[in-house]
Chains A and B, each alone.
Chain A
Amino acid sequence: MGEHRGEYKLKFEAPKNAQWFAYGLMAVGLISIIAMFASDHGHGEHYHAGTRAWANIFAGSFFFMSIGLAAAFFLGLQYAAEAGWATTIKRVIESVALYLPWGLSLMLLLFILGQFHVHHIYPWMAPGIAERGHPNYDEVIANKIGYFGVFWWIRTILYIVGWLWFTFKLRNNSLAADQLEIDVNNSYHWKNVKLGAWFMVIFAITSSTSAWDWLMSIDTHWFSTLFGWYIFSGMWISALTMITMLIIWLKKLGYLEFVTESTIHDMGKWMFAISFLWTYLYFSQFMLIWYSDIPEEVIYFQTRWETYKALMWTVLFVNFAFPMIMLMSRDCKRNYFYLMFVGTIIFIGHYLDVIMIVMPGTVGHAWTGLSWMEAGTFLFFLGLFLTVVFRTLSSAPLLVKNHPFLEESLHHST
């Protein structure tokens, strides 16, 4: 099992400046979040004080939670497919996935605050929305209120518990296998293969329904069956980009010397491919709604087209045309600088995508364009995310010990 294991640097310690950088991001972010709440007074009937601030916090929480979730999915996928190539980078994927408890806690906190009417992100949470004669009464929502309320909360709790259970199980089996001298029957590996396969099934359903519940229900009147896959592809590409950038950064620091160029190349291929998956789903959703031109559906893009036009085009260009041109060639996918550069842009591009999903249903036509508020919130959550990832990275050796595909992965070449 990896005869050079003793020579590798397996104990990660976050460099002081990187750690302080992450703290700095959080501090800057926190200041701008406070300033954001202080300056967001609100105006008009549907635009309460703090609407934009809460929407920003919601977008940031969701975006980074979804990265952890997609990393957990990616980890399970490697097991379910019994793929060998990713074994050397498994600990990086795990570390990103372990942001999930933090991300989900923040989401849960936001849901609870919404239920107590601290913010108004979900219109169906408003009191009296389904009571005929109440000033808040909304007939469309009243007709489907059975899907919300208690049923919504049951589903939400199930998602959170289920995802966390799978993530922790996958991680703990992997750590337990490290404790053994030799895992003769690959017992922990087979446990994880089973877990991974079941997680694929569970995730296939919950990724769609959670996207409907948590994001689509912001625009409660509107519906799209494709929406779940669109959100899923967005979180997948963000997670892949984050994992790729972490690997390159760790390699630059002198860690992960056992990760071959071909593994990085494969991550580049993933980034390229999933960018197209995202574009495919984004465009499919747009084109079908645009073509059929049904008022209750088209209102979703109407709002975006009228008030968020620049953002809409930016998101499409940055997340589709940019990676297509920049990542097409083989040499680009093997060049660290290129991957870092393209990765940074796509990562921000997909944050803007989440902004474009959340804002029109909350801030609506009161939107005045991107500002320091979006940037500040993004920096806060990025800092939090990096702090958590540094901590989990240093909590376990950077290379797994007992894994049947370890040797294959160490010699991976394409």
Chain B
Amino acid sequence: MGNVIKKNIIHGIFNDEVPLIEACKKMRKKGIRIKDVFSPMPIHGIDPIIGVPRTRLAICAFIYGITGTSLATLMMWYMMISDWPNDIGGKPNWAYYFNVPAFIPITFECTVLCAAHGMALTYLLRCWLLPGVRAKNPDPRTTDDKFMIYLELNDEQSAVAESIMKECGAEEVNYKGVKEIQPAY
């Protein structure tokens, strides 16, 4: 059993997103790690400010999109060329490339379908937002009109963070108990 690291759970409540961003910037400059921010609406451009790494969802979207394109092509090739070639509007389906314009709408739709659903499901899974999951919302007021910085800090940093948040106009700084972390040896 090693030393247990004790960290204070701190909720900094703000009335507006501008002082919150200000406080985040100042705390990051002091080397304080911001665990999370809760907000009733999306705050554009906050990710780099609170140190969230760039999203990799775009890479997933590309992979899902390409999968959709391939599936659509395979499906149409099998149906229209390989299994049962038809002559539509004087255009016999001897080869796929002959009638490419006719296949483009379906290719496009299937790409969008796979990319959109894939991204949504990835997002829900990654955030663990599944049916029946309990809401992880430390302070329900953040779903209405309050903005919150969520911190887990040691005593020394807690004092610094509290003074910065107060100085930037935090309405409340609440200590919500202590979290004990077992160091991994």
13 of the cross-chain contacts (CB-CB < 8 Å) are A262-B44, A283-B101, A283-B104, A291-B88, A291-B91, A291-B102, A292-B89, A293-B89, A293-B90, A293-B91, A413-B44, A414-B44, A414-B45
- Sort chain A's interface into a size bin: 10 to 19
Q: Which of chain A's residues has its CB closest to B90's CB?
A: A293
A251 to B105, CA, bound (A): 41
Q: Is A116 an interface residue (CB 8 A)?
A: no
Q: Which of chain B's residues has its CB closest to A294's CB?
A: B89
Q: Is the CB of A291 within 8 A of B105?
A: no
Quick one: which of A291, A413, A414 contacts B101, CB cutoff 8 A?
A291
Q: Is A290 an interface residue (CB 8 A)?
A: yes
How distant is A328 from chain B, measured CB to nearest CB, in Å?
A: 9
How distant is B136 from chain A, measured CB to nearest CB, in Å?
A: 27
Q: Is the CB of A291 within 8 A of B104?
A: no
Which residues of A, 281-304, contact B by the 8 Å Cβ criterion?
Answer: 283, 286-287, 290-293
A229 to B88, CA, bound (A): 28
Q: Is the CB of A286 within 8 A of B101?
A: yes
Contact with B along A381-392 (1 / 0, CB 8 A): 000000000000
Q: Which 6 A-B pairs have the closest CB atoms?
A: A414-B44, A287-B101, A293-B89, A290-B101, A291-B89, A413-B44
Please name all residues of chain B whose beta carbon is closer than 8 Å to the beta carbon of A293 when the two chains form the complex: 89-91
Q: Is the CB of B45 within 8 A of A413?
A: yes
Please name all residues of chain B whose beta carbon is closer than 8 Å to the beta carbon of A262 when the two chains form the complex: 44
Q: Which of chain A's residues has its CB closest to B18's CB?
A: A411
A16 to B136, CA, bound (A): 62
Given contacts A291-B89, A293-B91, 13 further A-B pairs with CB under 8 A are A283-B101, A287-B101, A287-B104, A287-B105, A291-B88, A291-B91, A291-B102, A292-B89, A293-B89, A293-B90, A413-B45, A414-B44, A414-B45
Q: Main SS of chain A's interface residues? A: helix
Contact with B along A260-291 (1 / 0, CB 8 A): 00100000000000000000000100110011
Please name all residues of chain A whose beta carbon is closer than 8 Å to the beta carbon of B105 when the two chains form the complex: 287
Please name all residues of chain A whose beta carbon is closer than 8 Å to the beta carbon of B101 when the two chains form the complex: 283, 286-287, 290-291
How distant is A96 from chain B, measured CB to nearest CB, in Å?
A: 28
How distant is A304 from chain B, measured CB to nearest CB, in Å?
A: 14
Please name all residues of chain A whose beta carbon is closer than 8 Å to the beta carbon of B88 when the two chains form the complex: 291
How distant is B97 from chain A, measured CB to nearest CB, in Å?
A: 14
Which residues of A, 400-414, contact B by the 8 Å Cβ criterion?
Answer: 413-414
Contact with A along B86-112 (1 / 0, CB 8 A): 001111000000000110110000000
A70 to B13, CA, bound (A): 46
A413 to B90, CA, bound (A): 54
Please name all residues of chain B whose beta carbon is closer than 8 Å to the beta carbon of A414 when the two chains form the complex: 44-45
Which residues of A, 356-414, contact B by the 8 Å Cβ criterion?
Answer: 413-414
How distant is B62 from chain A, measured CB to nearest CB, in Å?
A: 10
Please name all residues of chain B whose beta carbon is closer than 8 Å to the beta carbon of A413 when the two chains form the complex: 44-45
Please name all residues of chain B whose beta carbon is closer than 8 Å to the beta carbon of A291 when the two chains form the complex: 88-89, 91, 101-102
Which residues of B, 8-57, contact A by the 8 Å Cβ criterion?
Answer: 44-45
A46 to B131, CA, bound (A): 71
How distant is A249 from chain B, measured CB to nearest CB, in Å?
A: 26
A293 to B44, CA, bound (A): 49
How distant is A302 from chain B, measured CB to nearest CB, in Å?
A: 14
A103 to B16, CA, bound (A): 48
- Which of A262, A291, A414 has the most chain B CB atoms closer than 10 A to its own CB? A291
A43 to B20, CA, bound (A): 74
A413 to B49, CA, bound (A): 14
How distant is A315 from chain B, measured CB to nearest CB, in Å?
A: 16
Q: Which of chain A's residues has its CB closest to B88's CB?
A: A291
A292 to B89, CA, bound (A): 6
Q: Which of chain B's residues has its CB closest to A292's CB?
A: B89
Which residues of B, 92-146, contact A by the 8 Å Cβ criterion?
Answer: 101-102, 104-105
Please name all residues of chain B whose beta carbon is closer than 8 Å to the beta carbon of A292 when the two chains form the complex: 89
How distant is A339 from chain B, measured CB to nearest CB, in Å?
A: 19
Please name all residues of chain B whose beta carbon is closer than 8 Å to the beta carbon of A283 when the two chains form the complex: 101, 104
How distant is A124 from chain B, measured CB to nearest CB, in Å?
A: 31
Q: Which of chain A's residues has its CB closest to B44's CB?
A: A414
Please name all residues of chain A whose beta carbon is closer than 8 Å to the beta carbon of B44 when the two chains form the complex: 262, 413-414
How distant is A258 from chain B, measured CB to nearest CB, in Å?
A: 18
Q: Which of chain A's residues has its CB closest to B101's CB?
A: A287
How distant is A374 from chain B, measured CB to nearest CB, in Å?
A: 28
Please name all residues of chain A whose beta carbon is closer than 8 Å to the beta carbon of B90 when the two chains form the complex: 293
Please name all residues of chain B whose beta carbon is closer than 8 Å to the beta carbon of A286 when the two chains form the complex: 101
A292 to B90, CA, bound (A): 9
Please name all residues of chain B whose beta carbon is closer than 8 Å to the beta carbon of A287 when the two chains form the complex: 101-102, 104-105
A290 to B98, CA, bound (A): 12
How distant is A174 from chain B, measured CB to nearest CB, in Å?
A: 28
Q: Which of chain A's residues has its CB closest to B99's CB?
A: A291
Which residues of A, 194-226, contact B by the 8 Å Cβ criterion?
Answer: none
A414 to B45, CA, bound (A): 6
